[in-house]
Structure 1
Amino acid sequence: MYLPYLVDAGLSSVLPLAHLTGDPGLITALVERWRPETSTFHMSFGEVTITLEDVATLTGLAIDGDAVVVDIPDEDWSAMCIRLLGQAPTDLGGGVIRITWLRETFDELPLSASP
C-alpha cells in the first residue's frame, strides 16, 4: 500500500527491513539502558550512541546530499499542516506534531491520497 510512496521518496532500500523481527530480550535490555537526556545507551563499558553513519549502514539509506528543511514562521505551521495533511492538530506548537496525533488521525492512508 505504501510501496509507491517509499519508492518516490527514494526510501525503497528500507523495504527489506520490513521483514526483520526484533529480539524482545535485546530490545528490553536496550530500552532499560537508554538515557533520553543524553541520547545514549549506558552500557557496562561506557556510553554508546547511534550515529547517522550507523543508521546509513544498517538501513542502506543515503546520508549525503542536501538536507530537507523548510524555514516556516510559527504562525504558518497550522496553515501548512492543513495544506499538506488536510487538517492541523489543536496542540500544534513550535512546529511539533505529536506522533500520537499522527497515528490517531492517519492510521490508514486514504484511497484519495496523492503521491
Structure 2
Amino acid sequence: MNSDASLITALVERWRPETSTFHLPFGEVTITLEDVVTLSGLAIDGDAVVVDIPDEDWPTIYLRLLGWIPDDLSGGVVRIVWLREEFSHLLENASQEVTEQFA
C-alpha cells in the first residue's frame, strides 16, 4: 500500500486528541470505520489477522517487549489486571527502553 507522507503530516498537524477529531478549514471532522475501510482497503469483518507463534516463544517476546514475563502466562494471553498492576505508573527518570515498554 502506498501512502502520501504530505497528506499524513497534514492530518497529524490537524488532529485534536481531546476530541478525537480533525480540525480542517471547513470544520471539525472525525474518521469512521467506513473511512478506514475505504482508505486502507482493510477488511472490517471476518476472522482477525493473527500470527502463529509457538508457545515456547511467548516468554521471550514478553521479556523483549515488556521487560517482564507474566506469572500466569498462557500462550499469548495476558490478564489486563497484570498489565494494570505492572504498568500503571512510569517513573519520571525512566530510561528510553522502559518508556517504550510501558507504551
Query: TM-score range with shorter-chain normalisation?
Result: 0.3 to 0.5
Which structure has more relative contact order (CA 8 Å, sep 6+)? It is: 1
